Amino acid sequence: MPYTPPTWPVSVKGVAVDSRRRVLLLKNEREESELPGGRLEQVEPTPELTVEREIEEETGWTVKARQLLDVWTYQPLPETLPGRRVVIVTYGCTVLTPDMKPVVSNEHQELGLFTSAEVPGLTMPDGYKQSIVTRYERM
């Protein structure tokens, strides 16, 4: 039997930090906090452009994706998405509209800005938390 490699969707996410050093997070339908971003598609020529567009669509912020922070595989709890895996790629982003208040789109339930000290207590995958720690370390 020939080998068939896995084909998992890829999601690109951005760690965007405002001028007060608070990270932008969104709440999803599973009541988890997550980084803004979305599925990598062939619309843009690079993952960086995808994350920049997604953050603007989801929050109104204009950002520039800078350094690659992390790549990891997210496997949701079986009761939420059985057998599903998603490759997550995170980028550190510079906010180009730092004085603009971000707004939540219809894709999420709410939006918040959190200090690095608040992040560990949030309900979110550990991979996102690690990407946020890495971003703060590189600031």
Q: 40-99: per-residue pLDDT in tens?
A: 877 778 999 999 999 999 999 999 999 999 999 988 655 555 567 889 999 999 999 988
pTM of the model as a whole? 0.88
User: Among residues 10, 31, 17, 12, which one has the least CA distance to residue 125?
Assistant: 31
- Pairing, β 10-16 against β 86-95: parallel
pLDDT at residue 82, rounded to an integer: 54
pLDDT at residue 95, rounded to an integer: 95
Report yes or no: 65 and 93 within 8 Å, Cβ to Cβ: yes
